[in-house]
Amino acid sequence: MLDICLLGCGGMMPLPNRALTSLMVRYNGSTIMIDCGEATQLTIRRQGWSFKPIDVLLVTHFHADHISGLPGLLLTMGNAERTEPLTIVGPPGVEKVVNSLRVIAPELPFPIQFVELHEKEEIMNLVGLKITAFKVNHNIVCYGYSMELARSGKFDVEAAKGLGLPVQLWNPLQKGQTVTYEGKEYTSDMVMGADRKGLKVTYCTDTRPVPTIAEHAKDSDLFICEGMYGDAEDAKKAREKKHMTMYEAAELAREADVQELWLTHFSPSLIKPKMYLDKVQGIFPHTEMGKDRMTKVLNFEDEQDGSQ
Amino acid sequence: MLDICLLGCGGMMPLPNRALTSLMVRYNGSTIMIDCGEATQLTIRRQGWSFKPIDVLLVTHFHADHISGLPGLLLTMGNAERTEPLTIVGPPGVEKVVNSLRVIAPELPFPIQFVELHEKEEIMNLVGLKITAFKVNHNIVCYGYSMELARSGKFDVEAAKGLGLPVQLWNPLQKGQTVTYEGKEYTSDMVMGADRKGLKVTYCTDTRPVPTIAEHAKDSDLFICEGMYGDAEDAKKAREKKHMTMYEAAELAREADVQELWLTHFSPSLIKPKMYLDKVQGIFPHTEMGKDRMTKVLNFEDEQDGSQ
């Protein structure tokens, strides 16, 4: 199960009724955040989620609306008595930028580990999830992220019995281990079915709609993407400022064949994003307009009750 | 006229129903701010005041809850098309700290001028106000500020007539200039009465209740002071953390003989500041508990309609 909250859906500056765009994903007692603009900690508090289990912060880029809330968040995590390390992943210079912001948060009760991205695509395994960072096309270096929760195949009881393996060896094999029984070696694949469909979430702001986005969002259960502008006449502005329109985002979603698209990072000049929904759904029907603190629980396909 | 807004009244971290403590004072088309914690720009927006005329930012100290909102504010001021210089006043290192935070706000359409405080007391004239910074006693270097609007004496028409001065020379004399008429020099004090009572606002967080505060708050029309704790048993915590209780603040107000005291910078653990009001008013009757976006217009004593 992945427990997802789009904390805010605004771009550029926080507004009284629209927090800056940021994502929180809870999995197995850990929390992964993407971006942390000014006042993001307020939204987490409104949502009632805990600061303490934030283990990973993925930073898309260093524009203030995506990182200005970091010093305050770090201090609040410290006040929540976190002592475990926090991993911060981001574009080149992430350590320097974070340390520069920490001029006002120099002392924390937990260490920070940095992962500095350099390649077009980088894959990490963090808190049990496969995280892929992919470089997009903004006016400064910017990355999108996908998070995947793998799901192994079903254990084949008949195969295990057929091999004559005693029950106490089944569990290590289910966990992917190799066991030896009566002088013979048994590998996991001898008793496990093919991997089943897992869960995938892809998040992407701020960028032009480049092909790598659809490639990395491919088959996502949820694709969260900027839709900065809704008016057709803003297409030029989107190109100039290296952002995208809602329609460009919807085309990416269609191409990536995702289950659902949430739009976010709305321009402050865009008062009612919902007025564009019909038009966007004409391109990709499973589109939702982002709202502050919009949540979704993603379950494996045959486990809709939330258990894993 | 001074137009005053206590933007927030919280300490340590922004809460959904309590913004971080910060003051905005409007005078004659300019705005002076004291401190800018995370999400302060949101409160300014809620209050409906403009970002553009912020000419001066006075920083008390460099704890995050007093300055973490600065990068976002600077960018929003830039988006409001400000081009005039901004003056930032603060403790030693203010330029270094602000520039460090500006790692995420490197490009602004207006220059920043820094005034770095070093003395126990420093006096400046900014946007027509006399500003006095005074060092207080926190666990890092911290300053309180008072702002004074002077008021000249009344023009003595009879004296001017008695001196035989033609009407066209009255105005330069009223403005404090010296004029020459029929070979003789006339100074302003020959036609102006004694200076009248002006307006004074004093703002002070985070500190122990040291004597300099009452000295500098002396005779203020409005004294805004931290009252971090209300429970009697928190007096020890206040001493340890170099803060003060509401009762200590009220004693300062009484000693300084101010017109009115507003308490602010409440601890996040303090849910209902108003429950302590009776007890605090027992020490200083003209006390109000701070609230987000609490406003007051201060007028000269015989000009209560707001005109000057």
The pLDDT-based confidence of B302 (bands split at 50, 70, 90) is: confident
What is the token pair recorded at A23?
Answer: 């994502």
Helix and strand tally (H, E) in chain B?
9, 16
Compute the distance between CA of residue B132 and CA of residue B143 in angstroms, rounded to an integer. Answer: 10
Q: What is the pLDDT of residues A147-198, one digit of tens each?
A: 999 998 999 999 999 999 999 999 999 888 999 999 999 999 999 998 899 9
- B39 CA: distance to closest CA in chain A (Å): 5
Q: What is the pLDDT of residues B162-204, one digit of tens each?
A: 999 999 999 999 888 999 999 999 999 999 998 899 999 999 9
Chain A residues in contact with B39 (beta carbon < 8 A): 14, 38-39, 42
List the single best residue of A17, A73, A103 to mutate versus B (max B Cβ within 10 A). Answer: A103
Chain A residues in contact with B37 (beta carbon < 8 A): 72
Identify which of B97, B100, B105 has the shortest CB distance to residue A64.
Answer: B105
How many CA atoms within 13 Å lie on the side-chain side of B85? 10
Q: What is the model's pLDDT at position A167? A: 92
Q: What is the model's pLDDT at position B306? A: 44
Q: What is the model's pLDDT at position B308? A: 34
Contact A104, B101 (CB under 8 A): yes
Complex ipTM value: 0.90
Kindly tell me the sign of the dihedral angle through the C-alpha atoms of B285, B290, B293, B298. Answer: positive
| Average pLDDT for B279-304 | 94
Judged by a CB distance cut-off of 8 A, whether residue B72 touches chain A is: yes
Q: What is the CA radius of gyration of chain A?
A: 21
Compute the distance between CA of residue B237 and CA of residue B248 in angstroms, rounded to an integer. Answer: 13
What is the token pair recorded at A251?
Answer: 């085309």
Peptide bond into B206 cis (omega under 30): yes
Q: What average pLDDT does the structure give for chain B? A: 95
**CA end-to-end span of chain B:** 6
DSSP A2: E
| SS3 category, A183 | coil
Compute the distance between CA of residue B231 and CA of residue B234 in angstroms, rounded to an integer. Answer: 5
Chain A residues in contact with B45 (beta carbon < 8 A): 15-16
The model scores a pTM over 0.90 = yes
Contact A47, A76 (CB under 8 A): no
Q: Do A65 and B72 touch (CB under 8 A)?
A: yes
The pLDDT-based confidence of A301 (bands split at 50, 70, 90) is: confident
Which of these ranges, A182-186, B132-136, B144-148, B212-216, has the smallest mean pLDDT?
A: A182-186
Judged by a CB distance cut-off of 8 A, whether residue A63 touches chain B is: yes
Q: What is the pLDDT of residues B47-74, one digit of tens each?
A: 999 999 999 999 999 999 999 999 999 9
**What is the chain A residue with the closest CA to B140?**
A104
Q: Do A79 and B41 touch (CB under 8 A)?
A: no
Q: What is the pLDDT of residues A112-137, one digit of tens each?
A: 999 999 999 999 999 999 999 999 99
Q: What is the pLDDT of residues B230-276, one digit of tens each?
A: 998 999 999 999 999 999 999 999 999 999 999 999 999 999 999 99
Q: What is the model's pLDDT at position A176? A: 86
Burial (CB < 10 A; 0-12, 13-18, 19+), residue A195, is exposed
Identify which of A13, A15, A71 has the shortest CB distance to residue B68.
Answer: A71
Judged by a CB distance cut-off of 8 A, whether residue A15 touches chain B is: yes
Place of tokens 């009879």: B158
Q: What is the pLDDT of residues B201-219, one digit of tens each?
A: 999 999 999 999 999 999 9
Q: What is the pLDDT of residues A263-287, one digit of tens each?
A: 999 999 999 999 999 999 999 999 9
